[in-house]
């Protein structure tokens, strides 16, 4: 049985990433990298309208020419998305030589990683992968999860994060923080966020400030 993938989320904020190719597939890859805060360089004689606009606005550096071997130097990650298999394979070999993570679009054998289908709700990310075997299935599952996890989850995660951070600042023990966070997850907070019940949400902020915990866990307020 072949080994499975090790799931991981990369921190690319501020890191140089290279995309070779200027078509629609490259556009999708660039947009995903920009969302992660990466510094993106695109090497391609031509660009889609979207990539051209991004290059003009500044988030993308465009090198309007064919790929050169030294383009990979200093990159944290490389994506080959040209329509020329021989170029993509050359990029793969160069990146491997320099120990740079590389992905050749639609060529699983020339990939150190696969880009998953992603449901993103603020800080919440749910990634779906089929090990590159059938991306269409991953997209379909993503669509189902987008229905299950609506836009309210973006604020839900932020509210819970502030609650947890407040407990840390207050000096609560790990076990107490875990207990109170568990109670928060079991409460009706998600429904309050979904319906815009600000009074209920504000009660959580009050508890995170250390003034009370009754909003989430009335029977533990004041205990150790």
pLDDT at 221: 38
The tokens describing 186, both together, are 């079991």
Output the CA–CA distances (angstroms, integers) from residue 149 to 120, 136, 154, 192, in the order listed: 9, 20, 9, 15
pLDDT at 205: 64
pLDDT at 50: 97
Query: Does 43 score more than 80 pLDDT?
Result: yes
Of 217 and 78, which is predicted with more confidence? Answer: 78
Least-confidence region, from 15-19, 136-140, 185-189: 185-189
Residues 6 or more apart whose CB falls under 8 angstroms from that of 41 comprise 16, 17, 18, 19, 60, 61, 62, 63, 71, 75
- Other C-beta atoms lying within 10 Å of the C-beta of residue 170: 15
Query: Does 220 score more than 50 pLDDT?
Result: no
Counting residues of the chain whose pLDDT is more than 90, the rounded percentage is 64
Query: Does 6 score more than 60 pLDDT?
Result: yes
Question: What is the largest distance, in Å, between two alpha-carbon atoms of the chain?
Answer: 67
pLDDT at 173: 86
Residues 6 or more apart whose CB falls under 8 angstroms from that of 173 comprise 224
pLDDT at 168: 85
pLDDT band of 164, cuts 50, 70, 90? confident
Interval 123-134 mean pLDDT: 89
Query: Does 33 score more than 90 pLDDT?
Result: yes
Contacts by 200-207, CB closer than 8 A, 24 or more apart: 201/159, 204/159, 204/162, 204/163, 205/159, 205/162, 205/163, 205/166, 207/163, 207/166, 207/180
pLDDT band of 186, cuts 50, 70, 90? confident
Q: Which DSSP string corresponds to 76-113?
A: SEEEE--S-HHHHHHHHHHHHHTT-EEEETT-GGGBS-
Interval 172-185 mean pLDDT: 86
Domain 16-115 class in CATH: alpha beta
Query: Does 215 score more than 70 pLDDT?
Result: no
Least-confidence region, from 22-26, 59-63, 167-171: 167-171
Range 116-150 has CATH code 3.30.160: yes
> Rounded to the nearest 10 degrees, how much is the dihedral formed by the CA atoms of 46, 49, 51, 57?
120
Least-confidence region, from 15-24, 99-108, 177-186, 200-209: 200-209
pLDDT at 149: 96
3-state secondary structure of 46: coil
């Amino acid at each position: 049985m072949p080994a499975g993938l090790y799931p991981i989320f990369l921190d690319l904020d501020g890191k140089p990433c290279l995309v070779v190719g200027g078509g629609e597939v490259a556009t999708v890859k660039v947009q995903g990298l920009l969302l992660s805060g990466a510094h993106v360089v695109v090497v391609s004689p031509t660009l889609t309208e979207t990539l051209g606009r991004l290059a003009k606005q500044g988030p993308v550096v465009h090198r309007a020419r064919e790929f050169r071997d030294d383009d990979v130097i200093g990159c944290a990650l490389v994506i080959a998305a040209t329509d020329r298999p021989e170029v993509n394979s050359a990029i793969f070999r160069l990146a491997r030589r320099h120990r740079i993570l590389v992905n050749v679009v639609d060529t699983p054998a020339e990939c150190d990683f696969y880009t998953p289908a992603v449901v993103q709700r603020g800080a919440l990310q749910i990634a779906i992968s089929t090990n590159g075997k059938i991306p269409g299935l991953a997209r379909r599952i993503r669509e189902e999860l987008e229905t299950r996890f609506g836009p309210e989850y973006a604020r839900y995660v932020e509210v819970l994060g502030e609650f947890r951070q407040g407990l840390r600042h207050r000096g609560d023990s790990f076990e107490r923080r875990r207990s109170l966070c568990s109670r928060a997850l079991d409460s009706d907070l998600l429904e309050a966020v979904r319906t815009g019940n600000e009074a209920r949400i504000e009660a959580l902020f009050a508890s995170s400030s250390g003034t009370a915990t009754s909003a989430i866990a009335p029977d533990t307020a004041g205990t150790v």
